[in-house]
């Protein structure tokens, strides 16, 4: 490329391409500043709010190492009923089953108070338990917050 080519004026096509790139960059910057998730994800699409007239639900759990690299989860619930199935009249009440996640990966749905995760790898693991209502499996929430707890444990 000669110095003459470097100094030639931009063609209309080049100018249009530069304007398009500038508009794209500006649009991305504007979208990054907005709460675009609110446009796509609606609260009602992922959560079922427990009626305000219901007693406040309380979810907690204990983690207990049990033989080898197994981990026993024992739920502690107040004002929450674990059930296998729900009907339309149960919507809005603290009824459902527990979804258990290990390191962000769902391990299953349970309607019993204890569950054992087996053969965990050595290291730190995160366990999350949420209460979800079938058949939609949406997470129950109380006063706008999910009925869910996350804890970490080290497996040796």
Whether pLDDT at 9 is above 60: yes
The residues with which 13 forms a beta bridge, in sequence order, are none
pLDDT of residue 98: 95
**Distance from first CA to last CA of the chain, Å, rounded?**
63
The pLDDT value recorded for residue 103 is: 95
| 25-29, 82-86, 91-95, range with the lowest pLDDT | 25-29
- What is the percent of the chain with per-residue pLDDT over 70, rounded to a whole number? 87
The encoded tokens of residue 48 equal: 């079922």
Confidence at residue 125, expressed as pLDDT on a 0 to 100 scale: 96
Q: Among 87, 78, 83, which Cα is nearest to 149's?
A: 78
């Amino acid at each position: 490329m000669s110095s003459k080519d470097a100094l030639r004026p931009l063609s209309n096509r080049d100018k249009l391409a530069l304007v398009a790139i500038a508009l794209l960059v500006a649009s991305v910057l504007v979208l990054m500043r907005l709460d675009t998730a609110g446009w796509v994800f609606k609260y009602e699409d992922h959560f079922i709010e427990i009626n305000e007239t219901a007693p406040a639900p309380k979810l907690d759990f204990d983690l207990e190492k049990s033989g080898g690299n197994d981990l026993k989860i024992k739920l502690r619930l107040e004002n929450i009923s674990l059930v296998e199935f729900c009907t339309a009249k149960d919507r809005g009440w603290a009824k459902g089953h527990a979804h258990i996640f290990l390191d962000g990966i769902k391990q299953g749905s349970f309607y019993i108070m204890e569950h054992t995760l087996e053969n965990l790898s050595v290291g730190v693991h995160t366990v999350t338990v949420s209460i979800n209502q079938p058949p939609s499996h949406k997470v129950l929430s109380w006063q706008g917050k999910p009925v869910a707890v996350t804890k970490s444990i080290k497996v040796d």
